[in-house]
A = this chain, B = another copy of it.
Amino acid sequence: MATRSLPQHISKQFDQELEDLRARVMTMGGLVEELLSNGLDAMDKSDAEMAERVTNSDYMVNAMEVSIDEECTQVLARRQPAAGDLRLVLAVIKTISDLERMGDEIEKIGRMVVRMCEQDSPKSYYVSVLSMGQHVREMLHDALDVFARMDSGKAVEVAEQDKKIDEEYGAIMRQLITYMMEDPRSISNVLEVVWAVRALERIGDHANNLCENVIYLVEGKDVRHTSIEDMRKEISSD
Protein backbone atom coordinates (compact mmCIF):
# COMPACT_ATOMS: atom_id res chain seq x y z
CA MET A 1 0.00 0.00 0.00
CA ALA A 2 1.51 3.30 -1.02
CA THR A 3 0.63 6.88 -0.36
CA ARG A 4 2.21 9.92 -1.83
CA SER A 5 3.03 13.27 -0.30
CA LEU A 6 3.51 16.32 -2.43
CA PRO A 7 7.17 16.71 -3.29
CA GLN A 8 9.12 19.65 -1.86
CA HIS A 9 10.56 22.01 -4.42
CA ILE A 10 13.20 24.65 -4.18
CA SER A 11 10.53 26.98 -5.37
CA LYS A 12 8.04 27.37 -2.51
CA GLN A 13 5.80 29.06 -5.02
CA PHE A 14 5.66 25.87 -7.12
CA ASP A 15 4.81 23.78 -4.03
CA GLN A 16 2.04 26.22 -3.38
CA GLU A 17 0.72 25.97 -6.92
CA LEU A 18 0.55 22.17 -6.80
CA GLU A 19 -1.09 22.26 -3.37
CA ASP A 20 -3.55 24.80 -4.69
CA LEU A 21 -4.43 22.56 -7.65
CA ARG A 22 -5.07 19.68 -5.32
CA ALA A 23 -7.19 21.79 -3.01
CA ARG A 24 -9.26 23.05 -5.91
CA VAL A 25 -9.94 19.49 -7.09
CA MET A 26 -11.14 18.68 -3.58
CA THR A 27 -13.44 21.72 -3.60
CA MET A 28 -14.85 20.69 -6.96
CA GLY A 29 -15.27 17.11 -5.72
CA GLY A 30 -17.03 18.40 -2.61
CA LEU A 31 -19.47 20.35 -4.74
CA VAL A 32 -20.24 17.31 -6.91
CA GLU A 33 -20.79 15.20 -3.80
CA GLU A 34 -23.11 17.82 -2.34
CA LEU A 35 -25.13 18.04 -5.54
CA LEU A 36 -25.50 14.26 -5.66
CA SER A 37 -26.60 14.27 -2.04
CA ASN A 38 -29.15 16.99 -2.70
CA GLY A 39 -30.40 15.22 -5.81
CA LEU A 40 -31.02 12.03 -3.82
CA ASP A 41 -32.64 14.04 -1.05
CA ALA A 42 -34.94 15.68 -3.56
CA MET A 43 -35.87 12.21 -4.88
CA ASP A 44 -36.53 10.97 -1.36
CA LYS A 45 -38.74 13.92 -0.45
CA SER A 46 -40.29 14.36 -3.92
CA ASP A 47 -39.07 17.94 -3.69
CA ALA A 48 -39.24 19.37 -7.23
CA GLU A 49 -37.85 22.73 -6.17
CA MET A 50 -34.75 21.20 -4.64
CA ALA A 51 -34.30 19.01 -7.73
CA GLU A 52 -34.54 22.10 -9.91
CA ARG A 53 -31.79 23.76 -7.88
CA VAL A 54 -29.58 20.69 -8.35
CA THR A 55 -30.12 20.80 -12.12
CA ASN A 56 -29.40 24.51 -12.23
CA SER A 57 -26.17 24.16 -10.26
CA ASP A 58 -24.31 22.09 -12.84
CA TYR A 59 -22.89 25.26 -14.41
CA MET A 60 -20.78 25.72 -11.27
CA VAL A 61 -19.16 22.32 -11.77
CA ASN A 62 -18.52 23.16 -15.43
CA ALA A 63 -16.99 26.52 -14.54
CA MET A 64 -14.70 24.89 -12.00
CA GLU A 65 -13.50 22.38 -14.56
CA VAL A 66 -12.69 25.04 -17.13
CA SER A 67 -10.87 27.12 -14.53
CA ILE A 68 -8.81 24.27 -13.00
CA ASP A 69 -8.01 22.98 -16.49
CA GLU A 70 -6.71 26.42 -17.40
CA GLU A 71 -4.60 26.51 -14.25
CA CYS A 72 -3.13 23.09 -15.13
CA THR A 73 -2.16 24.34 -18.58
CA GLN A 74 -0.49 27.36 -17.01
CA VAL A 75 1.42 25.24 -14.51
CA LEU A 76 2.60 22.98 -17.34
CA ALA A 77 3.69 25.95 -19.45
CA ARG A 78 5.36 27.89 -16.64
CA ARG A 79 6.87 25.14 -14.51
CA GLN A 80 7.49 22.45 -17.11
CA PRO A 81 7.16 19.81 -14.41
CA ALA A 82 8.76 16.39 -14.76
CA ALA A 83 8.15 12.92 -13.30
CA GLY A 84 5.80 12.94 -10.29
CA ASP A 85 4.80 16.58 -10.66
CA LEU A 86 3.89 16.06 -14.29
CA ARG A 87 1.85 13.00 -13.39
CA LEU A 88 0.07 15.02 -10.69
CA VAL A 89 -0.97 17.71 -13.14
CA LEU A 90 -2.09 15.13 -15.73
CA ALA A 91 -4.02 13.23 -13.05
CA VAL A 92 -5.74 16.47 -12.05
CA ILE A 93 -6.75 17.11 -15.67
CA LYS A 94 -8.29 13.63 -15.89
CA THR A 95 -9.91 13.82 -12.47
CA ILE A 96 -11.72 17.08 -13.15
CA SER A 97 -12.94 15.72 -16.46
CA ASP A 98 -14.50 12.78 -14.60
CA LEU A 99 -15.98 15.10 -11.96
CA GLU A 100 -17.47 17.25 -14.69
CA ARG A 101 -19.10 14.23 -16.30
CA MET A 102 -20.49 13.22 -12.91
CA GLY A 103 -22.00 16.70 -12.74
CA ASP A 104 -23.74 16.06 -16.08
CA GLU A 105 -25.21 12.81 -14.76
CA ILE A 106 -26.40 14.52 -11.56
CA GLU A 107 -28.04 17.19 -13.68
CA LYS A 108 -29.97 14.41 -15.44
CA ILE A 109 -31.03 12.94 -12.09
CA GLY A 110 -32.31 16.36 -11.03
CA ARG A 111 -34.35 16.69 -14.23
CA MET A 112 -35.74 13.22 -13.77
CA VAL A 113 -36.84 13.99 -10.20
CA VAL A 114 -38.62 17.13 -11.42
CA ARG A 115 -40.55 15.05 -13.97
CA MET A 116 -41.25 12.29 -11.42
CA CYS A 117 -42.77 14.92 -9.12
CA GLU A 118 -44.95 16.28 -11.93
CA GLN A 119 -46.21 12.79 -12.72
CA ASP A 120 -46.73 11.93 -9.08
CA SER A 121 -45.05 8.55 -9.56
CA PRO A 122 -45.49 5.94 -6.82
CA LYS A 123 -42.58 5.86 -4.42
CA SER A 124 -42.16 2.10 -4.84
CA TYR A 125 -40.48 2.90 -8.16
CA TYR A 126 -37.46 4.43 -6.54
CA VAL A 127 -36.92 3.07 -3.05
CA SER A 128 -34.16 0.78 -4.27
CA VAL A 129 -32.78 3.57 -6.47
CA LEU A 130 -32.27 5.67 -3.34
CA SER A 131 -30.36 2.86 -1.70
CA MET A 132 -28.15 2.45 -4.79
CA GLY A 133 -27.72 6.23 -4.80
CA GLN A 134 -26.41 6.17 -1.24
CA HIS A 135 -23.84 3.54 -2.18
CA VAL A 136 -22.74 5.61 -5.16
CA ARG A 137 -22.46 8.68 -2.93
CA GLU A 138 -20.33 6.73 -0.45
CA MET A 139 -18.12 5.46 -3.25
CA LEU A 140 -17.65 9.00 -4.54
CA HIS A 141 -16.85 10.21 -1.03
CA ASP A 142 -14.29 7.44 -0.59
CA ALA A 143 -12.79 8.10 -4.02
CA LEU A 144 -12.31 11.77 -3.12
CA ASP A 145 -10.72 10.66 0.13
CA VAL A 146 -8.36 8.46 -1.87
CA PHE A 147 -7.44 11.49 -3.95
CA ALA A 148 -6.89 13.64 -0.85
CA ARG A 149 -4.58 11.05 0.74
CA MET A 150 -3.07 9.81 -2.53
CA ASP A 151 -3.51 6.30 -1.23
CA SER A 152 -3.24 3.69 -3.99
CA GLY A 153 -4.00 0.76 -1.68
CA LYS A 154 -7.29 2.33 -0.64
CA ALA A 155 -7.90 3.20 -4.31
CA VAL A 156 -8.08 -0.50 -5.21
CA GLU A 157 -10.53 -1.12 -2.35
CA VAL A 158 -12.79 1.71 -3.44
CA ALA A 159 -12.63 0.63 -7.08
CA GLU A 160 -13.99 -2.72 -5.93
CA GLN A 161 -17.21 -1.06 -4.74
CA ASP A 162 -18.07 -0.44 -8.38
CA LYS A 163 -18.74 -4.14 -8.87
CA LYS A 164 -21.41 -4.11 -6.15
CA ILE A 165 -23.00 -1.03 -7.65
CA ASP A 166 -23.15 -2.75 -11.03
CA GLU A 167 -24.91 -5.71 -9.39
CA GLU A 168 -27.42 -3.40 -7.73
CA TYR A 169 -27.94 -1.75 -11.09
CA GLY A 170 -28.77 -5.11 -12.70
CA ALA A 171 -31.24 -6.02 -9.95
CA ILE A 172 -33.03 -2.67 -10.10
CA MET A 173 -33.28 -2.86 -13.89
CA ARG A 174 -34.95 -6.26 -13.69
CA GLN A 175 -37.39 -4.86 -11.14
CA LEU A 176 -38.19 -1.84 -13.29
CA ILE A 177 -38.80 -4.06 -16.34
CA THR A 178 -41.28 -6.04 -14.25
CA TYR A 179 -43.12 -2.83 -13.31
CA MET A 180 -43.36 -1.87 -16.97
CA MET A 181 -44.65 -5.28 -18.00
CA GLU A 182 -47.26 -5.34 -15.26
CA ASP A 183 -48.56 -1.91 -16.14
CA PRO A 184 -47.68 -0.74 -19.65
CA ARG A 185 -49.23 2.68 -19.00
CA SER A 186 -46.41 3.25 -16.51
CA ILE A 187 -43.70 2.77 -19.14
CA SER A 188 -42.90 6.46 -19.66
CA ASN A 189 -42.75 7.07 -15.92
CA VAL A 190 -40.64 4.04 -15.19
CA LEU A 191 -38.26 4.94 -18.02
CA GLU A 192 -37.50 8.16 -16.13
CA VAL A 193 -36.33 6.01 -13.25
CA VAL A 194 -34.35 3.86 -15.66
CA TRP A 195 -32.40 6.96 -16.77
CA ALA A 196 -31.71 7.94 -13.19
CA VAL A 197 -30.41 4.46 -12.38
CA ARG A 198 -28.26 4.55 -15.49
CA ALA A 199 -26.89 7.94 -14.43
CA LEU A 200 -26.02 6.59 -10.98
CA GLU A 201 -24.24 3.64 -12.51
CA ARG A 202 -22.15 6.01 -14.61
CA ILE A 203 -21.27 8.14 -11.60
CA GLY A 204 -19.93 4.92 -10.07
CA ASP A 205 -17.84 4.35 -13.21
CA HIS A 206 -16.40 7.84 -12.97
CA ALA A 207 -15.61 7.36 -9.26
CA ASN A 208 -13.78 4.25 -10.38
CA ASN A 209 -11.80 6.36 -12.85
CA LEU A 210 -10.87 8.72 -10.00
CA CYS A 211 -9.30 5.77 -8.18
CA GLU A 212 -7.44 4.67 -11.31
CA ASN A 213 -6.07 8.19 -11.69
CA VAL A 214 -4.68 8.03 -8.16
CA ILE A 215 -3.04 4.66 -8.83
CA TYR A 216 -1.47 6.13 -11.98
CA LEU A 217 -0.27 9.09 -9.96
CA VAL A 218 1.16 7.14 -7.04
CA GLU A 219 2.44 4.07 -8.82
CA GLY A 220 3.18 5.55 -12.23
CA LYS A 221 1.18 2.72 -13.77
CA ASP A 222 -1.76 3.02 -16.07
CA VAL A 223 -4.33 0.57 -14.66
CA ARG A 224 -7.26 1.53 -16.82
CA HIS A 225 -8.71 -1.53 -18.53
CA THR A 226 -7.12 -3.67 -15.80
CA SER A 227 -9.06 -6.02 -13.52
CA ILE A 228 -9.11 -5.45 -9.74
CA GLU A 229 -6.97 -8.58 -9.28
CA ASP A 230 -4.35 -7.31 -11.70
CA MET A 231 -4.47 -3.88 -10.04
CA ARG A 232 -3.60 -5.50 -6.73
CA LYS A 233 -0.70 -7.32 -8.33
CA GLU A 234 0.60 -4.16 -9.98
CA ILE A 235 0.59 -2.34 -6.68
CA SER A 236 2.07 -5.09 -4.55
CA SER A 237 4.83 -5.73 -7.08
CA ASP A 238 6.57 -2.50 -6.07
Interfacial residues, chain A to chain B (CB-CB below 8 A): 59, 62-63, 65-66, 69-70, 73, 76-77, 80, 82-83, 86-87, 90, 93-94, 97, 177, 180-181, 184-185, 187-188, 191, 198, 222, 224-225
Contact = CB atoms under 8 A, between A and B. Distances in A.
A66 B180 contact: no
A73 B87 contact: yes
Contact of A222 (B69, B97, B180): B69
Contact of A77 (B82, B177, B185, B224): B82
Contacts of A82: 77, 80
A188 B175 CA distance: 12
Given A62-B224, A69-B222, A73-B87, A187 B191 contact: no
Nearest to A65: B224
A79 to B, nearest CB: 9
A95 to B, nearest CB: 12
A93 B177 CA distance: 39
Which 4 residue pairs are nearest across A and B when measured between Cβ atoms? A80-B80, A62-B225, A184-B184, A181-B184
Contacts of A93: 90, 93
A73 B90 contact: yes
Contact of A177 (B73, B76, B188, B224): B188
A225 B198 CA distance: 22
Given A181-B187, A187-B177, A222-B66, A76 B77 contact: no
B73 A77 contact: no
Contacts of A185: 181
A83 B77 CA distance: 7
A77 B177 CA distance: 51
A90 B184 CA distance: 49
B86 A77 contact: yes
A44 to B, nearest CB: 26
Contacts of A191: 177
A172 to B, nearest CB: 13
Contacts of A59: 225
A110 to B, nearest CB: 17
A65 B225 CA distance: 10
